[in-house]
C-alpha cells in the first residue's frame, strides 16, 4: 500500500462525526509534513491549516474532515475503500493534501491547505476562517468524480420551530405539538409550491424534516428541525417572511440556526478552466455539475475569487450505508488536481 492510499485509509478509519473531529485532525496534521507541508497549526475553531510557499498570491485548498454518523465498516476490498468519509469528504480532502504537497510552486505564490471542522453541521470551521484570508483562487474538496468539477451549490436555511404552553385539556386546545406539525406542514407545502420540477436542481427549492420532538407532561412542548434548500436567485428575506407568517398563524416561534445563499460561478472561471484542462490531459472528458446540497463553497463566495469544487467519489453515495471510493480514481484525482493547480498558477 503506497503512502497516499495509506493516508486516506488511516483517516477514514478514524471516526470524526461533526463536532468530534479532534482525533482525525491530529492524525491529519501529523501526516502532512510527509507530503511537503509546513507551518502546520490548529486554529481556535479546530481547523487544521498548513502552508507551502511564501509569495503574495495565494490559492486555498479547502476541505472538511467531519462526517455524518454511520456508514459501512472502514476496510479495503481490492481497489475499493469502504467507510464513512471515503467520499464525503476525506477522499477529496486527502486529494487536496497530497496534490497540493506535490505542486511546483512559483516564487510569487503560496498554497494554503485547510481541513475545516463542522461542515456537516452549521459550518463553524469555514465561518471562522473565511474572514482571515483573501485568496486569488480556491479549490473546495468535495466529491465530483475524477472527471467532474462542481461550480455551484444550493443555499441553506436551517430552521427550528418550537412551541410550548403550561398545559390544557386537548378537547379544548390541541396544543403545541399539533400547532407545530401544522406549521411544518404549511412550510413544506409552500416550498413545494415554489418548486419547478423541470428545472435543474440548483434552481429548485426543497425542504425536509431533520427531527421532531413533542411531549405532554403538564406543560406541553414541541420542536421541529427543518432543512430548507434555497435555489439560485432565492432571497433569504422572502423565506424569512414566509416563516414569520406561518409561525404567526399557528402561534409558534422559529429560529434560524444558519443561513447561506446559493452560489453558482461561471464554468469558465480560471480555476474551473484549469481543472477541465487537467481532466482532458488525463484522457478524460470533463463533466460540470451544479449540486443540490450546500457546502463550504457557499461561504467561500465571500472571497469573490475563481473557484471550483473537485474530488474523487460519487456524491450519490454521500451519507449512505454503501459509501465507498475507488482507490485508483483517488490516485488519478491527485494527478489531475496537481496539474490543475499548477495550470492555474501559471496563468
Residue positions annotated with a catalytic role: 66, 119
- The CA-atom distances, in angstroms, between 65 and each of 84, 88, 296, 310 are 11, 9, 12, 15
Nearest C-alpha neighbor of 162 from the set 256, 252, 259: 252
Cα separation, 126 vs 62, in Å, equals: 9
Nearest C-alpha neighbor of 310 from the set 282, 43, 322: 282
The helix or strand, by DSSP H or E, that contains position 91, with its residue range, turns out to be helix 90-102
Number of Cβ within a 10 Å radius of residue 41: 10
Cα separation, 233 vs 200, in Å, equals: 13
Number of Cβ within a 10 Å radius of residue 243: 22
Residue with cell 428541525: 225
Angle of CA points 299, 303, 305, to nearest 5°: 120
Instruction: Classify strands 324-326 and 109-116 as parallel, antiparallel or unpaired.
Output: unpaired
The answer to whether the beta carbons of residues 66 and 21 sit under 8 Å apart is yes
Amino acid at each position: 500500500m503506497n503512502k497516499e492510499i495509506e493516508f486516506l485509509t488511516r483517516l477514514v478509519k478514524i471516526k470524526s462525526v461533526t463536532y468530534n473531529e479532534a482525533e482525525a485532525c491530529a492524525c491529519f496534521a501529523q501526516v502532512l509534513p510527509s507530503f511537503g507541508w509546513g507551518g502546520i497549526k490548529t486554529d481556535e475553531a479546530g481547523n487544521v491549516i498548513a502552508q507551502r510557499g511564501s509569495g503574495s498570491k495565494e490559492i486555498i485548498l479547502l476541505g472538511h474532515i467531519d462526517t455524518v454518523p454511520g456508514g459501512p465498516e472502514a476496510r479495503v476490498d481490492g481497489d475499493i475503500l469502504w467507510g464513512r468519509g471515503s467520499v464525503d469528504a476525506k477522499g477529496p480532502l486527502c486529494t487536496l493534501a497530497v496534490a497540493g504537497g506535490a505542486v511546483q510552486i512559483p516564487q510569487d505564490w503560496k498554497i494554503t491547505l485547510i481541513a475545516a471542522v463542522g461542515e456537516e453541521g452549521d459550518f463553524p470551521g469555514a465561518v471562522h476562517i473565511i474572514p482571515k484570508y483573501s485568496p486569488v483562487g480556491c479549490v473546495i474538496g468535495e466529491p465530483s468524480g475524477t472527471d467532474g468539477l462542481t461550480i455551484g451549490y444550493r443555499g441553506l436555511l436551517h430552521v427550528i420551530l418550537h412551541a410550548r404552553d403550561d398545559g390544557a385539556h386537548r378537547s379544548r386546545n390541541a396544543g403545541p405539538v399539533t400547532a407545530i406539525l401544522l406549521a411544518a406542514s404549511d412550510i413544506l407545502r409552500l416550498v413545494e409550491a415554489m418548486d419547478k420540477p423541470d428545472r435543474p436542481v440548483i434552481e429548485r427549492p426543497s425542504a425536509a424534516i431533520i427531527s421532531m420532538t413533542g411531549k405532554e407532561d403538564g406543560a406541553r412542548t414541541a420542536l421541529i428541525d427543518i432543512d430548507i434548500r434555497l435555489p439560485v436567485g432565492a432571497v433569504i428575506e422572502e423565506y424569512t417572511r414566509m416563516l414569520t407568517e406561518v409561525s404567526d398563524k399557528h402561534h409558534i416561534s422559529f429560529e434560524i440556526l444558519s443561513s447561506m445563499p446559493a452560489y453558482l460561478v461561471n464554468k469558465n472561471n480560471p480555476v474551473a478552466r484549469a481543472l477541465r484542462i487537467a481532466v482532458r490531459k488525463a484522457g478524460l472528458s470533463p463533466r460540470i455539475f451544479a449540486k443540490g446540497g450546500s457546502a463550504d463553497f457557499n461561504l467561500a463566495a465571500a472571497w469573490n475569487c475563481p473557484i471550483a469544487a473537485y474530488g474523487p467519489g460519487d456524491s450519490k453515495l454521500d451519507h449512505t450505508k454503501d459509501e465507498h471510493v475507488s482507490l485508483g480514481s483517488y490516485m488519478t484525482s491527485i494527478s489531475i488536481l496537481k496539474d490543475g493547480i499548477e495550470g492555474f498558477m501559471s496563468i
